[in-house]
Structure 1
Amino acid sequence: MKRRTFLAASSAALLLPSSVYAIVPPRPVAVIGHTGRGNYGHGLDTMWLKIDETQVVAVADADPRGLSLATKRLEGAKGFADYQVMLHTIKPEYVAVCPRHPDQHFDMVLAAIEAGAKGIYCEKPFVRNPAESDALIAAANKRGTKVAVAHRNRYHPALEHIDKLIESGELGKVLELRGKGKGDHRGGGEDLWVLGSHIVNLFCYFGGGKPMSASGMLLQDGKLVTREDVKRGNEGLGPLAGNEVHARFLMDNGLVAYYESIANDGTSPDGYCFQIIGSKGIVTWHIDRDPVAHFTPGNPYNPANTPRKWIPITSQGVGKEETDPGSIQEVHNHVAAGTDLLGAVSGNSAPKCDIQDAAWTVEMICGVFESHRQGGKIVEFPLQERENPLGKL
């Protein structure tokens, strides 16, 4: 038993009669990793060791050395070479699908659902195409399984303070949403999938929950991508092309969101951000930074006589000192997401970033590819093409 759980239970035992008091056992978690094929994501295995209510009871890894290291890292969890065998042997309440490579996610998540898992936490990108999302949503709905995806920005306490900036009118009229890729060697299609998925996910949060339509184009060395440019993407991403991407989305609340990524554009890593452009200022969200966001007040199109302030947005509010660094750390190490998933299962509610949120993110990325395939035409959501459109360019 974890120390905090033990102390809490001990304190409760002093206050309650023995006939009432009972120790609640930790929720069993099984971890699926794959060393050399996406590994264990960004700490999606060890996050559960930091949550008092959970205990990692088993781990699966097809790589023998990776499995040996994982059982030690996960405090003696039982090791399995085959995750299917693990799931049907252990039948855990919760499953962590950790590999970064999304070509494995569909089979792993489906296996966890069919094994009776109540909650699943999956690394992003979620899956490779909308067809895979469709099948997993149907399976999860049938079994009542709660699936959350590791777009950890959705769990950040700064979001509510940005909501208040918008609702109060302090940001003015929201004019548009903007997102930019990291602009390193992965710029273009790969950047959109691997890092841009975080930004596209935030488009949905501030855009009313879902997209209405998309248009976009892919370029390779300044020329429009053709069939000859399509290759098998890194990290199991599926068909991929382009070292430059430009996309436009019409969101459900009427806002327009723009995304661009250009390989080696000279802005990495500072250019990797999400922005809300308002008539009275700009909110800039730098992914995984501390502080994660800043408010820059003032008409963004009016030259200023003095330098404009970048006012931090912390867990406490706009321009307020961060007095709860632990809550920020719990966003970074996924504890906030894991705790939210536990609450979603016990309360029969949706996780903050649930399977449908993740599915829209996948569909928006594929929507850019489908628009390019159709010569830049505006395509509506849901897409008619449910596979990766680049495979049919």
Structure 2
Amino acid sequence: MAKYRVAVIGRTGKGAYGHGLDTVWLKCDKAEIVAVADENEAGRAAAAKRLNTKSAYADFRQMLEKEKPQIVSVADRWPDCHRDMVLACAELGASIFLEKPVAQTLQQADEMVVACDRHHVKCAVAHQTAYSPRVKVVKDLIGEGKIGSILELRGHGKEDKRGGGEDLMVLGTHTFDLMRHLAGDAKWCFARIQQTGRKAVSGDVRQGGEQIGPILGDHITATYGFAGITNGNFVTHVAKDGASTRYWLEVRGTKGTIHLGFGVLPTAFLCEDPSGMFGKNKATWVEITSAGLGKPEPLNAKELDNGNILIANDLIEAIEKDRAPLDSLSDGRAALEMVMAVYESHRLERPVDLPLKNRKHPLTVM
């Protein structure tokens, strides 16, 4: 059986090749890397050697036209060119493995979704936690009623020096994507943004690093409403203590709580205590693995390429079965929309409904 022709787009010095979105194809039995594009000469040469391909281009459009790949890794972390790259891939009929965040704005993301739909190509987003075998078990436990009805999903960013607006965009996308996979689409958002202890105003808007677009604030609190009685809460600030220790998602239900980290085999524990006062009734935390509740973990994160091989294989299956990838471009857009809802709510000083009517970046019209 012929292997899929795969090309890679990276930008050395401008997001590089993301978190392994290039080398993952070397581990995929159904794929063959035929070319790489990188505008940086030294980076392009290094990538060609690393990916064992002789075809290397400075211009990604030229590569797409000449090589006609079936799948392309749009691997750079910086999202400023994601829209142009995805549209170019879609127009030539290539499916895409896309680094997050998917775009800088909802307008860009909307164009990308329309292009992929029009040209009937698949686009998978690098939200690795969504593909985790442990998260599948967590979803099954929730579906079986192990923690009852979900009351609250509580998440934080890494809360390091990026705490606030940059943390919201760079790491909040993972949190919001996971919230959606566990609780469905958010219906509304109400948020408050602070800067050095006061309400953040238009004069505080600044450009974020890695070309993520405008950002605001060093302390953000946001609440989301999901179906039924479920609320979601997200907090990020520049932490004086405990930076990077609260990057997890707590799922609290009427019968118990699940504590869940991020990654292909994230830390995951269940406590069956409806009071939420863990230990009060001698309740204990039981580890959740890919094998089930309280069972040894049979998988190795390194062998799973930190989740990228699961995404690559799922993308190929999505192509062959004509279905959406497990974490599609529409999912990536929905996570981005939860980010933009924070800014829109703060701008309007009220809750906002999702999907947002305003597709422009709220900080550009603040």
Q: Is it true that 1:380 corresponds to 2:338 in the alignment?
A: no
Does the aligned pair in 1 maintain the 2:131–2:264 contact within 8 Å?
A: no
- CA drift of 1:61 comes to 0.3
Distance 1:381 1:305, change over 3 A: closer
Q: Structure 2: where are the runs of 5+ without partners?
A: none
Could you tell me how far apart the structure 1 residues matched to 2:220 and 2:282 are?
32
CA 1:304 to 1:267, structure 2 compared with 1: closer, same or farther past 3 Å? same
Aligned equivalent of 1:92: 69
Once the two structures are TM-superposed, the CA of residue 352 in structure 1 deviates from its matched residue by: 0.2
Instruction: State the superposition RMSD in angstroms.
Output: 1.7
Aligned to 1:28: 5
Query: 2:108 is paired with a residue of what secondary structure?
Result: helix
1:251 aligns with 2:229: no
State the match for 1:43 in structure 2. Answer: 20
Name the structure 1 match of 2:335. Answer: 361
* CA displacement, residues 287-327 of structure 1 (integer Å, 9 cap, x when unaligned): 1275531112213433635875332211101111011326x
C-alpha distance in structure 2 between counterparts of 1:263 and 1:367, whole Å: 21
Structure exhibiting the larger radius of gyration computed from Cα positions:
1
Q: Distance in 1 between matches of 2:319 and 2:170?
A: 28
Closer/same/farther in 2, CA of residues 264 and 303 from structure 1, 3 Å limit: closer
Say if 1:281 and 1:298, in contact at 8 Å, map to a contact too: yes
1:265, CA displacement in angstroms?
4.3
**1:183–1:265 Cα contact (<8 Å) kept:** no
Match of 2:304, SS state, is helix
Residue among 164, 167, 170 paired with 1:191 = 167
| 1:370 pairs with 2:347 | no
What's the CA shift string for 1:361-386, capped at 9, x where partnerless? 111100110000012x0111121211
Contact kept? 1:183, 1:266, Cα under 8 Å = no
Alpha carbons 2:159, 2:244 under 8 Å: kept: yes
Which of 255, 276, 279 is the equivalent residue of 1:280?
255
Corresponding residue number in structure 2 for 1:9: none
- 2:290 is aligned to 315
Structure 1 moving runs of 4+ over 6 Å = none
Maintained 8 Å contact 1:155/1:331: no
Amino acid across the alignment from 2:202: R
Q: Which residue of structure 1 aligns with residue 197 of structure 2?
A: 222
- State how far apart, in whole Å, the 2-side matches of 1:329 and 1:239 are: 37
- The amino acid that maps onto 1:262 is H
User: Which residue does 1:12 correspond to in 2?
Assistant: none
Name the amino acid aligned to 2:55: K
CA shift digits 1:105-127 (9 cap, x unpaired): 1111111111221x201000011
Identity %: 36
- Does the aligned pair in 2 maintain the 1:31–1:95 contact within 8 Å? yes
User: Do the aligned residues in 1 keep the contact of 2:8 with 2:72 (CA within 8 Å)?
Assistant: yes
Match of 2:150 among 174, 181, 184: 174
Which of 133, 140, 162 is equivalent to 2:109? 133
**Change beyond 3 A, Cα 1:27–1:222:** same
Q: Secondary structure of 1:360's match?
A: helix
Shift, 1:76, TM fit: 2.3
Is 1:110–1:136's contact at 8 Å kept on the other side of the alignment? yes
Aligned residues: 366
Q: TM-score, normalised by structure 1?
A: 0.89
Tell me: CA distance 1:144–1:218, structure 2 relative to 1, closer, same or farther (3 Å): same
2:55 pairs, out of 73, 78, 91, with 78
C-alpha distance in 2, partners of 1:289/1:362? Answer: 21
